[in-house]
Structure 1
Amino acid sequence: MTFAGPRDDVMMLAMAVDAVVVRQRVEDLDAAVPFLLFAGPDEAVQRVAGVAATLAVADLNAAVEEAGGAEIVMPVQPTPNGRRAVLRHPGGGVFEYVGP
């Protein structure tokens, strides 16, 4: 762990993070957001490990075309579960889009 501060009045903590656990409280389990658990060989895990979120859209082609300024990391392609694309947005976030 190291401490660094670009300004005298701000102290930032930099550390390596090995894992992140996301918890979300919901009132209605039937309406809860689905989640993804994944495991496997490193090569397979790397395909999804950098994705911050998966977004289900009504029109995948339109969503990719309208993602202003986003870099296409993986173009629209079929998968066993439907079609998907992965985009890196200008702020650095990487999102998987899935849909028809």
Structure 2
Amino acid sequence: MADYQDSLYDSGVFLEAGSFDIGVQILGAGGVQLPASINVCDNTPQTFTASTQVANATYVWYLNNGVIPGATSASYTATQPGVYKVEVTIPV
């Protein structure tokens, strides 16, 4: 995208919010999509799995917005309370 050096023609690109969503869901141990929030009262470890498993994809798991060191596979077992999310990068 470029703009010529004049005052007559201008260019712009507009991207819709959420348009890069590849549809990754977080699944529970039974392979069922988890709701946006779950409460675990007994501190039992919970295994989460990213639903999109593409060859050569990379995974980064977060706890309370901080990267979890070494959590780079499609699944992660949570052992402490907090807000978890996964970022999946699919190669082009």
TM-score calculated relative to the size of structure 2: 0.23
- Higher RCO (Cα < 8 Å, 6 or more apart): 2
Structure having the higher helix fraction is: 1
Structure having the higher strand fraction is: 1
